[in-house]
Amino acid sequence: MELIHRDGLSRIARFSTGHGIIETPTVMPVVNPNIVVISPREMKRLGASSIITNSYIIRRTERLRETAEKYGIHSLMDFDGPIMTDSGTFQSYVYGNVEYNNLEIVDFQRKIGSDIATILDIFSRPSDSHSEAESAVEETYRRINEIDDKEGAMIAGTIQGSVYPDLRARSAGLMGSSKASYLPIGGVVPLLESYNYTKLVDIIIDSKINANFGKPIHLFGGGHPMFMAMSVLLGVDMFDSASYIKYARDSRLLFPDGTRDLGSMSAFPYWSPINGKFTVTELLNTSPEERTKSIAEHNLAAIFMEISEIRERIFEQTLWQYVESKARSHPFLFNAYRRILERSRELAKFEELYKKSPFFYFDSYSDSHPVLERIKRFSESTNLGGREMEIAGETWKPGRMDGGFISNVYNRTDHRIRIRWENLSVPVELNETFPVEQVISASRGQYSDFRSEGRKPDQPGSVDEGGVEAIRNFDLQKIRTVADLQFIAGIGERLFPDDVRIIKSRNTGRIRNIMTPDDRIIATMRAHDGFLTLNVEGAMRLKEISAFPMFRVQVDNESASFNSKGFNVFFKFIKVWDQDIVPLNETLVVDENDDVVAVGRSTVSGYEMGQYRSGVAVKVHHSIAGEDKLDS
């Protein structure tokens, strides 16, 4: 997998097959080779770049088998893009044992030229006992290990484990470390059919975070657009869908938020390929064959329209907002969304340091968003009791801290002053740091002007405004507090000693550069998110005050020579890395001697770092030998 864009666990990525590159997230329409309602060629027009068909059906149907063996699966399906083949596992679940074993069906898939061949795994039902599901996990793992390492098709090793978290985690770990290069999550169709999305949330999370991030994750049977965005949010890359044709046969139309019966509709939406061809009444009166095909086309259009929206949301880093709004369209989705919130601490380590988009605060449910977990934990760690006060206010902007607050209150007291921000209480020094300032909220407080409020003599607001010496500096404490949040508590004071010079923008009054007394830039405070971008001087300081390998990736010396000139760091050259790296945070690049050669922003978390084998791991913005890149 090569990562292109990410938003938490969701990602736009690409991987190569024998018949082209697949870019995720996407859907493979299921094509029954015996009953082709919409040809794979027509599916391309509707958005399909790859398809999935069933090798078991092809093998047991003589005319299909002969054509596939002679001319190949792509000729049989009349499709020149990537084709994945299933093995017959689901047929075994529905009808009983199939007549071929695992090695036979995989060899057949390879013989006919499948791009992604699936092992004959053991389907685990939600009703299986723990021991039954465990046996299925063990047998499925045995079957992936009996496949040889021939070149050609990618091998799909299915993650099983029924509804048991320990077994899902175990199966994901086994398959993730096996020769399987493609990881479907299996045994979930009964849950999808019963709309048990809450249980599916647990299964997807347990599978995703315990598998291998360098391999595509596929949700078998997850082709309804209603649940796709939530699945992608939790790390699913690929889907297959037979829903487009199954629902069409029952005269049911798919929409991003659910399903509608043809007979209960008055008109087709503007985006539907049916719109303009038929009225509802006309389509109801056509032949069953024409009606089924027309609705199937609509359903595929709905599926790929949703995929297009999801991809755009990942690029904008607003997928969570989209899922949160969709979740309120159906009670089953909302229950699943609440389950995600219950597991937000597990998801927080995959969240970027900041987002392109503002944070949307809807209501108290937003308090459990993974984005808030980092600032929540930090704020709790600084809540030590003693002399502390809290102020109320709306979203702060540079001029909002005037009115004498900084000079007459903050700088003249040692109180820990905190902001009442939604339902949290955060240090006032984070007033411009994501997401405190970068928030769009349904509830807004009122700013308190300390000069006009009556206060008791022992409160900071009653300080005499004349002739009182300042005992601290807001700007200095601000950059230190941001550094503590961005890296680790206590590091700000060591990174920025008392003699640093703080340069502010003449236009906005915001902090821009933090410099040494001899005018070397240590760091820049970014205006759009309030976090710090380190220069080489700052990188070297951070390295000196932190133990190896904190905040850094170590590359081999050959790579280091290129990185020192400003080139990005690629995953394959990394030897050692900090497991606690935060995505998009400042990351030091060091050589084999632990000497700093560059600094940049990590594209992934430390948890993921060792699992990708291709693509950029750290986007370098400053280096010791090359020209500094512009901060972005």
448-486 per-position pLDDT tens digit: 333 333 333 333 333 444 555 778 899 999 999 999 999
Domain pair 2-342 / 486-623, same fold: no
Q: What is the pLDDT of residue 448?
A: 36
Residue 53 host element (H or E)? strand 51-54
Closest C-alpha to 11, from 569, 441, 611:
611
DSSP conformation letters of 361-402: E-SGGGGG-HHHHHHHHHHHHT---SSEEEEE-SS--GGGGT
304-317 per-position pLDDT tens digit: 999 999 999 999 99
**Please, which pLDDT band fits residue 381 given cuts at 50, 70 and 90?**
confident
476-525 per-position pLDDT tens digit: 999 999 999 999 999 999 999 999 999 999 988 899 999 999 999 999 99
**Please, which pLDDT band fits residue 404 given cuts at 50, 70 and 90?**
low
Q: How many CB atoms lie within 10 A of CB 295?
A: 25
Query: Mean of the pLDDT values across residues 563-567?
Result: 97
DSSP conformation letters of 471-496: -S-HHHHHHHHHHHHHT-TTHHHHHS
Residues 6+ apart with CB under 8 A from 385: none
- Under DSSP, the state recorded for 190 is H
35-48 per-position pLDDT tens digit: 999 999 999 998 99
Predicted TM-score of the model (pTM): 0.92
604, 619 Cβ separation under 8 angstroms: no
Query: Mean of the pLDDT values across residues 359-374?
Result: 92
Domain ranges (residues) in the chain: 2-342, 359-478, 486-623
Helices (H) and strands (E) counted in the chain, each on its own, are 24, 28
Query: Mean of the pLDDT values across residues 328-340?
Result: 95
- Helix (H, G, I), strand (E, B), or coil: what is residue 505? coil
385-398 per-position pLDDT tens digit: 567 777 755 534 44
Please state which CATH class domain 2-342 belongs to. alpha beta
Please state which CATH class domain 486-623 belongs to. mainly beta
Percent of the chain with pLDDT over 90: 80
Active-site residues, by number, are: 86
Question: Strand 51-54 and strand 83-86: pairing?
Answer: parallel
Report the C-alpha gap between 204 and 186 in whole angstroms: 10
Report the C-alpha gap between 138 and 134 in whole angstroms: 6
253-294 per-position pLDDT tens digit: 999 999 999 999 999 999 999 999 999 999 999 999 999 999
Q: What is the pLDDT of residue 454?
A: 33
Report the C-alpha gap between 262 and 268 in whole angstroms: 9
Q: What is the pLDDT of residue 119?
A: 96
Query: Mean of the pLDDT values across residues 124-143?
Result: 96
Give me the amino acid identity at 193.
Answer: E
Least trusted range by pLDDT, from 289-303, 428-442, 460-474: 460-474
What is the overall mean pLDDT for the chain?
90
495, 489 Cβ separation under 8 angstroms: no
